[in-house]
Structure 1
Amino acid sequence: MENVVVTGGDPRAAADRVGSTPTAPTAGAPASAAVTGADAAAGLIVASAGGDDLVAPESRRRRGLFGADRATPYLLIAPAVVALLALLGYPLYRVVVLSFQAMGHRQLIRGEDPAWVGFANYTRIFQDSVFWSVVVRTVAFTAVAVVLSVLLGLAVALLMRRVARPVRTAMVVAMMLAWAMPGLVSSQVFLWLVDANFGVVNWMIDQIPGVDFHNHSWFADPLQGWIVITAVVVWGALPFLAITLFAGMSQVPKELSEAATVDGANPWQVFCAVTLPILRPLLGIVTTLSIIWDFQVFTQIWVLRNGRPEDEFQTLSIHSFITAFGQSKYSLGSAVAVVTVLLMLGVMIFYVRQMFKIGEQD
């Protein structure tokens, strides 16, 4: 028996057609369906089909919404989500809980349960002038390091577009090797370079007539010390920024640059009017990543100060570590860490929004 689907028209007329003897198809017409001129005029389609062919599109969509096909992506991503929650979510939860307790050296040694003190730790750090000076110092260092890193990375990327291919390849290899160097090793190398007794930097500056840099200590003055720290951080971030921005510039259509040049634009105008607007989303992403990385700098400062950073060289991450493990005030250090995460939360939200915008544009 044939399956019949009837859409549109009068239901009674459709019933008459269903009950009538089907018209034999003409030569060359498919045997599975017969559509007459009257049926077409009335909006009737008579077809023989089976299975899913008789299911309306809305039903198929509804089945996909609640069926196994809809759940497959979530099942595939579930192991990664569980791993992230175990490796990152649980430690963060413990830090937050610890910030509301009074965990000290005594509770740690004796295994006693720390007392719940609520927001007392947060009140204490917010009333501490040292904490606010550390916040200002961290923000200022992050701003300077990010601006220098992005500008130098953009300049190197522009240079890579102008040089010949062999030179560009050598630059990429050199930057990849520098980027692969661990931060601990690179910080130690910079510490040797600026050593007061045997540093090559002091020796080179001392060769300038009228300048005496013999046995000069860069960290005796906080400003000079931060110059060295900033140089280490920028040096480590430059390879990633330069290569990423160069890859973004390679996506700029040459036709646009050539058209602007034909219209009389100089290289700077071509960059501002053509390259920069296309590169702006990528610049936003690398700048946000640089802010997140530089805001939590720890290794470079710790190594350059030989594991004993003075108050003038403490950022939020250093201050939290020293408070928790140097002074055995674990809950107070956890409170500083939570505040650090909250300060970075706005930057991370901006980064995620930029990623979604780029995904929608693609």
Structure 2
Amino acid sequence: MTAPASPQAVDRRRVRAVRGPSRPDGGRGTAPRRRAGSRTPWLYLAPALVVLGGLLAYPIYQLGLISLFHYTQAQVSGGEPTTFEGFGNYAGLFADEQFWQVLLATVLFAAACVVCTLAVGCALAVLLTRVRAVPRLALMLAALGAWATPAITGSTVWLFLFDADFGPVNRVLGLGDHSWTYGRFSAFFLVLLEVVWCSFPFVMVTVYAGIRAVPAEVLEAAALDGASQWRIWRSVLAPMLRPILVVVTIQSVIWDFKVFTQIYVMTNGGGIAGQNLVLNVYAYQQAFASSQYSLGAAIGVVMLLILLAVTLVYLRLLRRQGEEL
């Protein structure tokens, strides 16, 4: 008959059982080895990356290359040799006062479009959660119809609605033969309405899907605490939907900064004396109307760099706030 184990021995056995068997390396452990199948996802993504590289990387390379040469209609037709200008096209562009005026107008117009699109889209997304099934379906179909309408078709319809002679808007408001496209600010406002009309459905559908994923208990608790609808959105929904709002904001910035069709169609190529020019239309005029292809390419490169900078700065600010994207 063996003597009973001491309490100290029992405690050591329990600790050993929890820790598991001792390792020959003294418990230091080794670094986990890289799995052999960790490259498998990249193999699946390789075809898509090759296609995207051909569709995006090569055109961007050609755009940057053309912007470094003196490339006009004479070079296209072969009448004159192509000469290397370096950053001469960019120097001439930055010395042009009209370029800075167009850039400022583009930034302000795009900012107004983004703010209005997000406001309308988020408000209607919240409304979709408050109405019954039939009104919700009708609103969804109407919004998707606006989203699916081609930009040139939507621009033509909005021009008819605000037409000085036959437009129903002037008749309802009693404005007579007021021309909305004659003044600079009224023309920009008309284009803004069309841009928001064709852009808010993306924001509405995306934010609505995010709201539906929020647990109902969270919203009920906020309502029981006496929070208003605006307070619920600002303090509960907006922080939880921040990753989704980041996506729709960046998409809206990119789309609205490079608006072309609406401005070109609704202001007849940029308005009277170019008062409604934006960078995309300005680049088109320089490249094709004036046959200054290298200057148009330089404007395109500047637009690309601005959009990349805005996107990277926005993502960096969110990373500093601890957001995971």
**CA distance 1:61–1:301, change in 2 (3 Å):** same
Q: Which residue of 1 aligns with 2:292?
A: 329
Q: Which residue of 2 aligns with 1:14?
A: none
1:175 is aligned with what amino acid? A
Aligned residues of 2:162 and 2:169 also touching (Cα < 8 A): yes
Q: Which residue of 1 aligns with 2:16?
A: none
1:111 Cα offset (Å): 6.1
Q: Which residue of 2 aligns with 1:345?
A: 308
Matches within 5 A, 1:264-283: 264-283=226-245
Secondary structure of 1:265 counterpart: coil
RMSD: 2.6
Could you tell me how far apart the structure 2 residues matched to 1:351 and 1:177 are? 31
Secondary structure of 1:162 counterpart: coil
One of 47, 69, 92 as aligned partner of 1:101: 69
Q: Which residue of 2 aligns with 1:314?
A: 277
2:289 is aligned with what amino acid? G
Decide which moves more: 318-327 or 73-82.
Answer: 73-82
TM-score, normalised via structure 1 length? 0.76
One of 192, 206, 220 as aligned partner of 1:244: 206
1:344 Cα offset (Å): 0.6
Does 1:80 pair with 2:48?
yes
Q: Which residue of 1 aligns with 2:13?
A: none
Q: Which residue of 1 aligns with 2:60?
A: 92
Could you tell me how far apart the structure 1 residues matched to 2:40 and 2:324 are? 25
Secondary structure of 1:318 counterpart: helix
Does 1:217 pair with 2:217?
no
Does 1:260 pair with 2:228?
no
Could you tell me how far apart the structure 1 residues matched to 2:231 and 2:32 are? 54
Q: Which residue of 2 aligns with 1:189?
A: 157
Deviations, residues 80-103 of structure 1 (Å, cap 9, x unaligned): 111111111111101101111000
Could you tell me how far apart the structure 2 residues matched to 1:340 and 1:272 are? 33
Could you tell me how far apart the structure 1 residues matched to 2:21 and 2:225 are? 61
2:96 is aligned with what amino acid? D
Could you tell me how far apart the structure 1 residues matched to 2:233 and 2:38 are? 45
Across the two proteins, how many residue pairs are aligned to each other? 299
Could you tell me how far apart the structure 2 residues matched to 1:236 and 1:188 are? 13
Q: Which residue of 1 aligns with 2:189?
A: 227
Q: Which residue of 2 aligns with 1:284?
A: 246
Deviations, residues 197-250 of structure 1 (Å, cap 9, x unaligned): 2111122222xxxxxx22221111111111100000000111111111111111
Could you tell me how far apart the structure 1 residues matched to 2:38 and 2:68 are? 41
Could you tell me how far apart the structure 1 residues matched to 2:39 and 2:21 are? 41
1:265 Cα offset (Å): 2.7
Q: Which residue of 2 aligns with 1:61?
A: 33
Decide which moves more: 254-263 or 127-136.
Answer: 254-263
Could you tell me how far apart the structure 1 residues matched to 2:278 and 2:191 are? 12
1:203 is aligned with what amino acid? R
Deviations, residues 305-345 of structure 1 (Å, cap 9, x unaligned): 23464411110111011001010111111111111111111
Q: Which residue of 2 aligns with 1:19?
A: none
Larger RCO: Structure 1 or Structure 2 (Cα < 8 Å, ≥ 6 residues apart)? 2
Could you tell me how far apart the structure 2 residues matched to 1:313 and 1:342 are? 23
Q: Which residue of 2 aligns with 1:300?
A: 262
TM-score, normalised via structure 2 length? 0.84
1:225 is aligned with what amino acid? A
Could you tell me how far apart the structure 1 residues matched to 2:287 and 2:265 are? 19
**CA distance 1:44–1:353, change in 2 (3 Å):** closer
1:280 is aligned with what amino acid? R
Could you tell me how far apart the structure 2 residues matched to 1:273 and 1:352 are? 21
1:184 Cα offset (Å): 1.1
One of 86, 98, 104 as aligned partner of 1:136: 104
Secondary structure of 1:70 counterpart: helix
Q: Which residue of 2 aligns with 1:150?
A: 118
Q: Which residue of 1 aligns with 2:3?
A: none
1:229 is aligned with what amino acid? V
Deviations, residues 46-95 of structure 1 (Å, cap 9, x unaligned): xxxxxxxxxxx979935x3xx5x333322221111111111111111011
**CA distance 1:361–1:97, change in 2 (3 Å):** closer
1:72 is aligned with what amino acid? T
Secondary structure of 2:165 counterpart: coil
1:348 is aligned with what amino acid? T
Could you tell me how far apart the structure 2 residues matched to 1:352 and 1:183 are? 29
1:347 Cα offset (Å): 2.6
**CA distance 1:256–1:60, change in 2 (3 Å):** closer
1:276 Cα offset (Å): 2.1
Deviations, residues 10-62 of structure 1 (Å, cap 9, x unaligned): xxxxxxxxxxxxxxxxxxxxxxxxxxxxxxx99599xxxxxxxxxxx979935
Q: Which has the larger radius of gyration?
A: 1
